[in-house]
Structure 1
Amino acid sequence: MSEAGVEDVLRAAAQMRVVRGAPDDVEVAALVASLAAVASRDVEPATEAAPRSEWARPLRAVHATRTAGADAWRWSLR
């Protein structure tokens, strides 16, 4: 964590206040440590997946059209 990040976390921790309950020193320290860990995390922007071609779609083979024939009506509901 950079020095500026530590100072920001310490400044934010000094401004925290307990709204309800009575946490002890260990619980407050755990909260400050978890907030410091989240603040120091390097977040990379999410990369968008490339659009998939309709020709490469797996369901294309499953939903293939059936050939017409004399008894095509029998297979139309399958």
Structure 2
Amino acid sequence: MNTPDIRVEKGHAGPEEVAAITALLLARAAAAPARPEHRAHAKPRAAGWRRLERTPGFRAPHSWQG
């Protein structure tokens, strides 16, 4: 049995519409820049969030770190 690679979950898409969205997805995937596999000199990125256990226990009421 041949199962399709793309399935319409809601609504009714004709074969032309499925072909159009498939072509769009393939074009976007081909246009995406390739990610480098290994960057030799790259610094590790710092986390964008704070770990609460590493913050001091007291913050002044007028602190901007709220």
Same fold by TM-score greater than 0.5: no
TM-score bracket for this pair, using the shorter chain length? 0.3 to 0.5
Q: Which protein is richer in helix relative to its size?
A: 1
**TM-score, with length taken from structure 2:** 0.41
